Amino acid sequence: MTLDELKKHWKTWMAVSFELKVSQSAVSYWRQRGSIPYTSQLLIQDKTNGLFKAKKEDDNQITKD
């Protein structure tokens, strides 16, 4: 999964944080590093009942504007 996928689904970073029950600082960290750590992806996959699928970090890079 990518940050772009989460943002597209929930529209705001605050909603991402709220819906996934993670801190806003965690979401901010993911955005700074440009990807979601694999262990966090596995938790997101579980919390969303597979709506988002975990991918290895090499496949999860995004480009910064």
- With the CA atoms of 58, 12, 8 and 4 taken in that order, what torsion angle do they form, in degrees rounded to the nearest 10? -20
Q: Is the pLDDT of residue 12 over 50?
A: yes
Q: Is the pLDDT of residue 56 over 70?
A: yes
Residue 13: both structure tokens together: 């970073």
CATH of the domain at 27: 1.10.260.40
> Which range marks the domain in which residue 41 is found?
3-55
Residue 27 in domain: yes
Give the type of residue at 49. Answer: N
Q: Is this prediction's pTM over 0.95?
A: no
Give 21: exposed, middle or buried? Use CB within 10 Å, 0-12, 13-18, 19+. exposed
Q: How many domains does the chain have?
A: 1
